[in-house]
Amino acid sequence: MNTMKISAASCALVALVAVTAVMAADGKRKGDRFVPTNDDFRASAQRAASQGSSPDCCPGDLNCDGLVDGADLGLMITAWGTNDPSADLTGNGLVDGGDLGLLIGAWGPCSG
């Protein structure tokens, strides 16, 4: 029973952090859609090498398939709590709620 309470509290905390991060990115919004810039993410050779792909993938598209979706979320969850540069979208050295917020803010097809 206590494990279920802790698990529910952990999920609620992750959701709260994600919502907070998305709201913090609100100042960077253009219209109703978050428009990431290269300054928002680390599109570096290190990230490209870790992904085995081009740094030209849109921000949040961790598998470079042209879409920020559940597959990218799965990759981020796998890297959660590590310093994996392919999922560390904020560049702070840790895959955490800030990265999740940016991924959610970029959700959908890549533009351009």
Q: Please state the pTM of the whole predicted model.
A: 0.54
Can you give the residue range of the structural domain that contains 78? 2-109
- The whole-number average pLDDT for the span 17-38 is 51
Tally of domains within the chain: 1
Let me know if 17 is exposed, middle or buried by CB neighbors in 10 A (0-12, 13-18, 19+).
middle
What pLDDT score does 84 carry? 94
The reported pLDDT for the residue numbered 30 is: 42
Query: What CA–CA distances, in Å, run from 60 to 8, 11, 74?
Result: 26, 21, 12
